[in-house]
């Protein structure tokens, strides 16, 4: 059974296996397929048109499935690996062990944002940025550069307290839990973390930075936490909503699963702590 752990608690061996597996997937070309898929949905999801991966109720089940696919790819290389999560309300500075050279490496240098240490630094030759929106082929970050503060626990709790999953118009203008967690409204959780990391994480090709997976694994955990806090609150909308994935509608690009089938994560993995 896959157990997703807080990244801060990983052993040196767990970190090394995770990193080695990412690099193996990168070398095989499979990693970049995930980046490509993500950017395709970023570009295609619009507030007034079809929307699946983002700015819509299916933001959470879509990323849950996307992470599951990625985790299965990791496990095809090393079956002991699980996705760790990054609780950015606790590990909230560039001095966190997350950004140490034995794990993800640190922030970028000021001149060009280039990450200079860790396994994903361009100088290692192991992490070329192929799927990109500009000419730069090296991993970039500017931790805390564009927005100073990561969300606080109190801000997270204020969003977890929202009892309605999502509301019309089911997009970036919605009230409710999903859009506040995604960050288009209110205190801004998920979006702000992308901006705080900077570099590729601020773009449509954000999965180029491995921290993408740890960020989304925590967003996914917050969804699980929310469901436990509000056992009577259903996914919405239930049916008949144009351009939006209803509870029992298949979700692209897989077309073989629905939000309903993804509500309970425990069929696939558990977390190290409630």
Partner 1 sequence: MPDITRRHALGAAVALAVTAGAPLTAAAADDHGDHGGHDGPEAFDEVYRGRRIQGRPAEGGGHHHGAVYAVFVDGVELHVMRNADGSWISVVSHYSPVPNPRAAARAAVDELQGARLVPFN
Q: What is the spatial distance between Cα 31 and Cα 29, in angstroms, rounded to a whole number? A: 6
CB of 48 to partner 1, least distance (A): 4
Q: What is the spatial distance between Cα 185 and Cα 67, in angstroms, rounded to a whole number? A: 24
Q: What is the spatial distance between Cα 142 and Cα 125, in angstroms, rounded to a whole number? A: 21
Q: Which of 97, 191, 257, 270 binds partner 1 (CB under 8 A)?
A: 191
Q: What is the spatial distance between Cα 210 and Cα 214, in angstroms, rounded to a whole number? A: 7
- Say what the alpha-carbon torsion angle 213, 181, 271, 252 is, to the nearest 10 degrees: -60
Residue with tokens 């859009």: 179
Contact pattern from residue 9 through residue 38 relative to partner 1, giving x for each residue in contact according to CB under 8 A and a dash for the rest: -----------------------xxx-xx-
Interface with partner 1 includes 252 (CB under 8 A)? yes
- Which residues in the 43-72 window bind partner 1 by CB under 8 A? 43-44, 46-50, 55
Q: What is the spatial distance between Cα 196 and Cα 143, in angstroms, rounded to a whole number? A: 6
Q: Which of 65, 141, 194, 215 binds partner 1 (CB under 8 A)?
A: 194
Residues 6 or more apart whose CB falls under 8 angstroms from that of 187 comprise 151, 155, 158, 159, 180
What's the angle, vertex CA 26, arms to CA 25 and CA 31, rounded to 5?
75
Q: Which of 56, 58, 172, 258 binds partner 1 (CB under 8 A)?
A: 172
Interface with partner 1 includes 144 (CB under 8 A)? no
- Which residues in the 85-124 window bind partner 1 by CB under 8 A? 112-113
Nearer to partner 1, 103 or 127 (CB): 127
Total residues at the site for partner 1 (CB under 8 A)? Answer: 45
CB of 218 to partner 1, least distance (A): 16
Contact pattern from residue 198 through residue 237 relative to partner 1, giving x for each residue in contact according to CB under 8 A and a dash for the rest: ----xxx-x-------------------------------
Instruction: Point out which span in 88-96, 154-162, 171-179, 229-237 binds partner 1 (CB under 8 A).
Output: 171-179
Output DSSP code: residue 156: H
Interface with partner 1 includes 148 (CB under 8 A)? no
The backbone torsions φ and ψ at residue 73, rounded to the nearest 5 degrees and listed phi first, read -65, -40
Cβ contact 130:32 at 8 Å: yes
Interface with partner 1 includes 169 (CB under 8 A)? yes
Strand pairing partners for 85?
Answer: 6
Residue with tokens 């506040």: 180
Interface with partner 1 includes 135 (CB under 8 A)? yes
Q: Which of 5, 8, 24, 40 binds partner 1 (CB under 8 A)?
A: 40
Interface with partner 1 includes 186 (CB under 8 A)? no
Contact residues for partner 1, defined by CB under 8 A = 32-34, 36-37, 39-40, 42-44, 46-50, 55, 112-113, 130-136, 146-147, 169, 171-173, 183-184, 190-192, 194-195, 202-204, 206, 252-253, 255
């Amino acid at each position: 059974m896959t157990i997703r752990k807080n990244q801060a608690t990983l052993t040196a061996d767990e970190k090394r296996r995770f990193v080695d597996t990412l690099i193996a997937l990168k070398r095989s070309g499979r990693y970049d397929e995930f980046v490509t898929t993500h950017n395709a949905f970023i570009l295609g999801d619009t507030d007034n048109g079809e929307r699946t991966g983002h700015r819509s109720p299916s933001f959470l089940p879509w990323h849950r499935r996307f992470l599951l696919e990625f985790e299965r790819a990791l496990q095809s290389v090393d079956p002991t690996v699980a996705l760790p999560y990054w609780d950015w309300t606790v590990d909230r500075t560039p001095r966190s062990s997350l950004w140490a050279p034995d794990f993800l490496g640190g922030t970028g240098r000021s001149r060009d944002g280039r990450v200079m240490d860790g396994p994903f630094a361009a100088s290692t030759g192991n992490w070329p940025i192929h799927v990109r929106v500009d000419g730069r082929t090296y991993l970039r970050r500017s931790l805390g550069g564009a927005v100073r503060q990561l969300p606080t626990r109190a801000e997270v709790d204020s969003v977890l307290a929202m009892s309605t999953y999502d509301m019309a118009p089911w997009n970036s203008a919605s009230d409710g839990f999903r859009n506040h967690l995604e960050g288009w409204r209110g205190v801004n959780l998920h979006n702000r973390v992308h901006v705080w990391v900077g570099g590729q994480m601020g773009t449509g090709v954000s999965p180029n930075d491995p921290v993408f997976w740890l960020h989304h694994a925590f967003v996914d955990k917050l969804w699980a936490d929310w469901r436990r806090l509000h056992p009577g609150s259903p996914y919405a909308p239930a049916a008949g909503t144009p351009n939006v994935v209803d509870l029992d509608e298949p979700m692209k690009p897989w077309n073989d699963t629905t939000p309903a089938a993804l509500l309970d994560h425990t069929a696939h993995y558990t977390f190290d702590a409630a």
